[in-house]
Amino acid sequence: MTVRVSAGARLHFGFCNLSLATDRLYGSLGVALDDPRVVVDADPADAVRCEDAAAREAAERACDVLGVDGAAVAVRDSLPRHVGFGSGTQLALAVYAAVARAHDRDPRVREHAPALGRGGRSGVGVAAFESGGFVLDAGHPTERFTTERPPDGSWTVPGVSARHRIPDSWRFVLAVPDVEPGKSGADEDASMRDVVERADSSVADRIAGVVLRRVLPGVVDGDLAAFGDGIAEVGRLNGRWYADEQGGVYRPPAGALVETLREHAAVAGAGQSSWGPAVYALTDAAHATEVRAAASDALGEAGTGGDVRVVRAASDGARVSEV
């Protein structure tokens, strides 16, 4: 029986700390989305067979970690690559889980994610894959994660400090402009190293206050305005760290989209996910259509096309089935 794994995208609102002057590094905030999704099928095989290059590489790594001969892997649906949706982590974990289940193995995703090269900085992607929801992870001890990321497999995925279900009435309007993808791989590693080396620790202090006084109370109380304002402020403060690496507090043209959307009366908060270019606007179901139209207009005003969609947060993790 073919095993199918379906996993949603995630938004990354930012890190709690990028300064080496504090006890813990990173610590990130994000949310699992119900859509878009990556969908992967796997069957046991005597070698790795897969037409998708990225999935084939993930399957080869999965087979090495699991100690199995191979798998026939097919990607039925995929996430846009490197736009801020966590495509690399969600694909790698979906392939790994599908291959493991195809061989009747318990994936134990959190345990094996480091060997797959995942969870090295942010734990949001792994946590979103596991159980969905809004996630705040605990980061890493600073003495272990300095300017260089340790070799794959030598870390543990950051623990989940807080996880909460997003209210059913909330909606995220996603706008992805037709521009070059965000940073990934070696480019991302180099940029993160440069950011960490010169990060201002006072920014982390301000973020801590926003998380404790706005973000967490907002999601616990179902206060859309407080939560939206909080995650947007976390993003703006992160942008102060990244400005030299991405051309401003937000990478162009994400900044223009964010500024337009944040002025809309029905938007509780707007920001850039990860390195972008994806932009989100938080609203409620009653106003989602008008915010979606505003996002489409904002893309036009920025002189670019793109994709706009309205999505819910995911209240569960990856879905595993037999087909």
Query: What total number of domains does the chain contain?
Result: 1
- Which pLDDT score, from 0 to 100, does residue 151 have? 73
For residues 89-101, b (16+ Cβ closer than 10 Å) or e, as one string? bbbbbbbbbbbbb
Model confidence over 33-75: pLDDT tens digits? 999 999 999 999 999 999 999 999 999 999 999 999 999 999 9
**Residue type at 154 in one-letter notation:** S
Q: How confident is the model at residue 153 (pLDDT cuts 50, 70, 90)?
A: confident
**For residues 162 and 180, what is the distance between their CA atoms, to the nearest angstrom?**
33
Q: Please report the pLDDT score of residue 148 as a whole number.
A: 64
What is the structure's pLDDT at 77? 98
Q: What is the pLDDT of residue 147?
A: 60
Distance of alpha carbon 49 from alpha carbon 159, whole angstroms = 34
At 133, which amino acid appears? G
pLDDT of residue 66: 98
The half-sphere exposure of 52 on its side-chain side, counting CA atoms within 13 A, is: 21
Q: pLDDT tens-digit profile of 286-296? A: 999 999 999 99
Range of the domain at 304: 3-322
Query: For residue 227, which of 158, 294, 170 has the smallest C-alpha distance?
Result: 170
CATH number (domain holding residue 109): 3.30.70.890
- Least confident range from 26-35, 64-73, 190-199, 239-248: namely 190-199
pTM higher than 0.85, yes or no? Answer: yes
Tokens representing 54 are 């990225």
Q: How does residue 323 score in pLDDT terms, banded at 50, 70 and 90?
A: very high
Is 166 in contact with 264 (CB distance < 8 Å)? no
pLDDT digits (tens, 9 = 90+) for 133-143: 999 999 998 88
